[in-house]
Amino acid sequence: MSFLFPAFLFALFSLSIPVIIHLFNFKRYKTLYFSNVSLLKRIKQESKKKSQLKQLLILIARLLAITSLVIAFSRPYIPLTKKTSSAAQQVVAIYIDNTFSMKAESEKGPLLEQAKLKAIEIANSYRVGTQFLIITSDFLPEHEFLLNKEQFIQQIAAIKESPLSPKLSNVYSQAIRTISASVKRADKTIYILSDFQKNSTDIESIKPDSSVWTYLFPFKAAKTNNLLIDSCWFEVPIRKIGQPEKLFVRIKNLSNQAYQNIPIRLTINDSLKAITNINISGQEVSTQELNYTNNSEGIQLCKVELDDYPIIYDNSYYLSYHVRGKLNALGISNPLNDGSTYLKSLFANDELVSYNEYPENNIQISQLKNFQCIFLINNQKISSGLKSELTSFVEQGGSLVIFPDRLANYEDYNALLNALNGKTYAGYDTLSLSISEINYDNELYREVFKKKEDEADLPVIKGSVNFTDQMQRSEITLLKFRNGKSALNTHSFGDGTVYTFAFPLDKKNFNFIRHVIFVPTIYNMVLNSGDKQKYAYSIDNEEPIYLNQNQNPGELKVVNLKTKDEFLTNIRRIGSGKKQLILDELPKQAGHYLVKDGSQTIQSISYNFSRRESVPEFYSEEDLQNKIQSSKFKQFQLIKSSEITFSETIKELNNGRQLWKYFIILAILFLFCEIAVIRFWK
């Protein structure tokens, strides 16, 4: 047993007062004279013994009554934890899990509403003067200040669900930082009210503060069925006008119930483009294919959705992309060689590609950024200025195609390839070689051929360049000679792609130019060029957003297409010309957002809610208790949801089991005993 106010125990010295009164009886006796006192002496002796016993019982009752009162005022208690109160001020931080999973229902209603009521109960269990701190999943700045009980209850009522799903270790760290910054000396306590979903409850990652006591209160929802759209992706990475698209949609059934004829709808710019019905068994993952064609250029705002209740936030998936009207290709050619004429003929009057050409001795370097694909066609020299500009061009997302000339020295080419981290040229070989193998799995050829031919009739190349064997350079071979050497390589550099041929584009290799493989090879190199678009973002993940344009924008803003809410932005330049868009605050609603430069829309951003909250896996009370014990957290304790008198449980956990009431009852009982002895003892 311990005492909250042990100084009151000094009042036990007052027990000496009734003892002194008992020892020194100040009552005066009156003398009476009798003629015969023999009988009186016997009566007197008997009465004196009874009187002494009576006075002794009265004294004991008084001493016990006073002792009980003194102990009661010392506030005795039996500590239920090792927590001891060392400061007069108390600070209580309460984390209310307001993630989407807390919208689930139980027998008593939504879990979030139950958590808010429990938070108010906790506040009411503390004495006046206690300061409170609210922590939620979105870490709002207004929740970084200490509140009194009335302010705390008012802010609790305003808490709504949040799309963010922080780790429990981050929540704990945030609480410790805020408490430590707000007050130096106080009794600090943290309450965590949550459903303790497994994907965010990382108790083992918590670094506990020995001065802070933490109580976990779990909530358990009734079992709920949930069908959701997990993710979406395209078969090929490039979006172009007139292209048949295959959009894959992954559907997850997180329940044991089977679903029949559930419609999956795709709308683009508010127009229905595709629909399909699915049948899915319990606990099954299904991938569905939606087919449509890009018939218009510009920004395409897509939404894939299904119908499922009661959990609806994961029924939709937003994505968006930009379809260019025409791709711009440029040929930098050797004026002494006619290789560029074949590209001119290929792209003449083309609806998708606009082709231009510069001779290698008259290049407008400042204009290179306006193209998506550049061809180096049998060049004799590559200047250092052009090399630097081409390196920057590829790094920012452009595609570079290199046809080497027949040279004795490839020093200029190799300087460019080294800058692009590609395999260099070793030397020219006049030997004629036939192409024998095509990489059908690469996106360049994936949709070109209806079937794969192992012994296809492929062109013969008259003279080629050997690549150096540089193991540290990882390149993909697209075309291979019969002797096993590469005829066409590709590799990525920055956000762009480099295609390196091992032979020139000229009349001697007319066999390659007239072959059926020439057109799809060159044409797809252009169609697969340009910016690599990010189709969708997750709200709870701070992924970088890059501008898909080369010109310098003015004052940008991001607008929610549905609510018209505006977000201020900044631009950060990264690397050689890449521009990152930084929002002043992250969006909290899933949907489409438009990046505007004044009144002009230059880009779209699509946000989706995280699917982590959709996974119905939670830690039980037993699991949490085992985790606390295995982590040896002495300052952590679990409050079981079966506790009926929740507020009393909180008081006992903080102040121990209070015994002062029992001692008050004992004091009253002893006073009644004293009265009874005085009144009824004759």
Residue closest to 376 by CA, chosen among 360, 389, 362: 360
333-346 residue pLDDT tens: 988 888 889 999 99
What three-state secondary structure class fits 164? coil
More confident: 582 or 645:
582
Percent of the chain with pLDDT over 90: 45
Mean pLDDT rounded to a whole number for the chain: 85
Residue 495, pLDDT score: 80
Residue given tokens 């330049």 in the structure block: 573
User: Cβ-count burial of 214 within 10 angstroms (0-12 exposed, 13-18 middle, 19+ buried)?
Assistant: buried
Residue 648 pLDDT > 90, yes or no?
Answer: no
Residue 414, pLDDT score: 94
Question: Among the listed ranges 2-6, 299-303, 454-458, 554-558, which one has the minimum average pLDDT value?
Answer: 2-6
403-446 residue pLDDT tens: 999 998 899 999 999 999 999 999 899 999 999 999 988 888 87
Q: Cα separation of 85 and 90, whole Å?
A: 9
The secondary structure element, H or E, covering residue 569 is strand 566-574
More confident: 115 or 180:
115
Confidence of residue 533 (pLDDT cuts 50, 70, 90): confident
Q: Look up the pTM and report it.
A: 0.72
Exposed e or buried b per residue across 493-524, where buried means at least 16 C-beta atoms within 10 angstroms of its C-beta: bbebbbbbbbbbbbeebebbbebebbeebbbb
117-144 residue pLDDT tens: 999 988 988 888 889 999 999 888 888 8
443-462 residue pLDDT tens: 888 778 777 776 778 999 99
Residue 502, pLDDT score: 95
Q: Cα separation of 527 and 326, whole Å?
A: 10
Q: For residue 324, what is the DSSP state? A: B
Inter-residue contact 251 to 306 (CB < 8 Å):
yes
Rounded to 5°, angle at Cα 75 from 71 and 81: 125
Residue 484 falls in which region: left (phi positive, over 0), alpha (psi -120 to 50) or beta: left
DSSP 191-259: EEEE--BTTT--GGG----TTEEEEEEE--PPP---EEEEEEEESSS--BTT-EEEEEEEEEE-SS--E
Q: Cα separation of 532 and 180, whole Å?
A: 45
Q: Cα separation of 2 and 473, whole Å?
A: 73
25-54 residue pLDDT tens: 645 455 666 666 665 555 555 566 666 777
Question: Among the listed ranges 30-34, 110-114, 573-577, 602-606, which one has the minimum average pLDDT value?
Answer: 30-34
Confidence of residue 490 (pLDDT cuts 50, 70, 90): very high
The secondary structure element, H or E, covering residue 462 is strand 460-467
Q: Average of pLDDT values for 74-88?
A: 59
Residue 33, pLDDT score: 65
Residue 26, pLDDT score: 47
Inter-residue contact 205 to 167 (CB < 8 Å):
yes
The secondary structure element, H or E, covering residue 18 is helix 16-23
Q: For residue 372, what is the DSSP state? A: S
More confident: 419 or 579:
419
- CATH 2.60.40.10 domain residues, the chain: 227-324
Residue closest to 585 by CA, chosen among 602, 605, 570, 600: 570
CATH number of 90-222+617-655: 3.40.50.410
Confidence of residue 355 (pLDDT cuts 50, 70, 90): very high
What three-state secondary structure class fits 457? coil
The secondary structure element, H or E, covering residue 436 is strand 425-438
- CATH 3.40.50.880 domain residues, the chain: 327-527
Joined together, the tokens standing for residue 52 give 């002494």
Q: Average of pLDDT values for 80-102?
A: 77
Residue closest to 315 by CA, chosen among 563, 104, 590, 604: 590
What three-state secondary structure class fits 677? helix
Q: Cα separation of 33 and 250, whole Å?
A: 117
Residue 655, pLDDT score: 57
- CATH 3.40.50.410 domain residues, the chain: 90-222+617-655
Inter-residue contact 183 to 91 (CB < 8 Å):
yes
For the CA atoms of 203, 619, 255, 642, what is the dihedral angle to 10 degrees? -150
Q: Cα separation of 26 and 513, whole Å?
A: 134
Q: Cα separation of 496 and 230, whole Å?
A: 29
Q: Average of pLDDT values for 480-498?
A: 91
Joined together, the tokens standing for residue 602 give 């230059």
Q: Cα separation of 489 and 499, whole Å?
A: 6
**Alpha helix stretches (DSSP H) within 233-352:** 340-347
Nearest-10 crossing angle of helices 16-23, 38-73: 170
Amino acid at 598: G
Percent of the chain with pLDDT over 70: 89
Q: Cα separation of 319 and 250, whole Å?
A: 14
More confident: 362 or 495:
362
Inter-residue contact 171 to 192 (CB < 8 Å):
yes
Residue 451, pLDDT score: 74
Q: Cα separation of 374 and 394, whole Å?
A: 9
Q: Is the dihedral of CA 534, 539, 545, 547 positive or negative?
A: positive
Confidence of residue 93 (pLDDT cuts 50, 70, 90): very high
Inter-residue contact 616 to 254 (CB < 8 Å):
yes
| Maximum pairwise Cα distance, the chain | 164
Residue 314, pLDDT score: 92
Residue closest to 218 by CA, chosen among 647, 624, 614, 548: 624
* Residues contacting residue 256 through CB under 8 Å, at least 6 positions apart: 225, 282, 283
CATH number of 537-608: 2.60.40
CATH number of 327-527: 3.40.50.880
192-209 residue pLDDT tens: 999 999 999 999 999 998
Q: Average of pLDDT values for 463-485?
A: 87
Residue given tokens 């020439």 in the structure block: 518
Q: Average of pLDDT values for 606-621?
A: 90
Residue 14, pLDDT score: 78
CATH class of 227-324: mainly beta
Joined together, the tokens standing for residue 229 give 């759209």
501-519 residue pLDDT tens: 999 999 999 999 999 999 9
Q: Cα separation of 427 and 422, whole Å?
A: 16
Pairing of the two strands 545-546 and 636-638: unpaired
Is the backbone peptide bond immediately before 310 cis, with ω within 30 degrees of 0? Answer: yes
Point out which residues pair with 566 in neighbouring strands.
559
